[in-house]
Amino acid sequence: MGLMLALLAAGPAGALGTRRPVTISGTVRVVGSEPLTRLVLTPAGGERDWLLVGPLQDELRRRHQGERVTLEGEPCPSPSPEFSRCFKPSRIAE
CATH number at residue 36: 2.40.50.140
pLDDT per residue as tens digits for the range 18-52:
678 999 999 999 999 999 899 999 999 889 999 99
Residue 66 falls inside a structural domain:
yes
- Cα–Cα distance, 24 to 41 (Å, whole number): 9
Number of compact structural domains in the chain: 1
User: What are phi and psi for residue 54, nearest 5 degrees?
Assistant: 105, -175
Residue 3, domain member (yes or no):
no
84, β-bridge pairs: none
Alpha-carbon 37 to chain mean position? 17
In a domain, 36, yes or no: yes
Mean pLDDT value of segment 56-84: 96
The range of the structural domain enclosing residue 63 comes to 18-92
pLDDT for 11: 42
pTM, to two decimals = 0.78
